[in-house]
Amino acid sequence: MFNLILFGPPGSGKGTQSEKLIEKFGWIHLSTGDLLRKEIANKTQLGLEAKAFMDKGQLVPDEVVIGMIGAALDANPAARGFLFDGFPRTTAQAEALDALLSSKTSEITLVLALEVSEEELVARLLNRGKTSSRSDDRDENVIRKRLLEYEEKTAAVAHHYAKFDKVAKVKGEGSIEEIFQLLRKQIEARQPA
């Protein structure tokens, strides 16, 4: 199994690149942001509770997203690999993910960290807000809060995996295709052809 974490701040292109990567490599795409937005659209209790955090640009509680990922792993026993997008976002989530995978005699293979400057991130997110249905992309204060949450809580996830020598940094500025090729090279260097 190849288990990839596509890592990076909000607006770094994780969603866009995830779509291209799953098409190429055939993994299961697990985006906690997408899963949460689905819960909100279905007006579930979980969605209702999560929305209050998301609208403020705050992370939803660890146990909520860990539970969703655990269920998704169980629901896909025959997967050839998983692409984690927007998860893990805290060290506690990373440790829980490691434990979940280890209980399935698997592990994270690689963390690809997209690097994009802060001003470029804000510009991209505001631009996305003009066309997407995401209210958290329309308000610059909420965007800044999400970037702060990333610095304060999520950046540590890269340190966690760097301890195991699993992190590769990739320049996340350039054309979608250029960035995709950089990601592809890193992946192919770590998996048998």
We find the least distance from the C-beta atom of residue 58 to ligand AMP, in angstroms, to be 6
We find the least distance from the C-beta atom of residue 188 to ligand AMP, in angstroms, to be 26
Is the torsion defined by CA of 53, 100, 38, 15 positive or negative? positive
Q: For ligand AMP, give the closer residue by CB, 144 or 185.
A: 144
Torsion of CA 42, 43, 49, 55, to 10 degrees: 80
Task: Answer for the pair 83, 29: CB distance below 8 angstroms, yes or no.
Answer: yes
Q: Which residues are at the interface with ligand AMP (CB under 6 A)?
A: 10, 32-33, 36, 53-54, 57-60, 65, 86-87, 89, 93, 136, 146
Q: How far is CA 29 from the centre of its chain?
A: 10
Task: Answer for the pair 161, 5: CB distance below 8 angstroms, yes or no.
Answer: yes
Closest CB to ligand AMP: residue number = 33
Q: For ligand AMP, give the closer residue by CB, 39 or 180.
A: 39
Q: How are beta strands 28-31 and 167-171 bridged, if at all?
A: unpaired
Q: For ligand AMP, give the closer residue by CB, 13 or 86.
A: 86
Q: For ligand AMP, give the closer residue by CB, 30 or 110.
A: 30
We find the least distance from the C-beta atom of residue 63 to ligand AMP, in angstroms, to be 10
Structure tokens at 146: 């999400």
We find the least distance from the C-beta atom of residue 156 to ligand AMP, in angstroms, to be 13
CA 174/CA 193 separation, integer angstroms: 27
We find the least distance from the C-beta atom of residue 136 to ligand AMP, in angstroms, to be 6
What residue type is 12 in one-letter code?
A: S
Q: For ligand AMP, give the closer residue by CB, 30 or 179.
A: 30
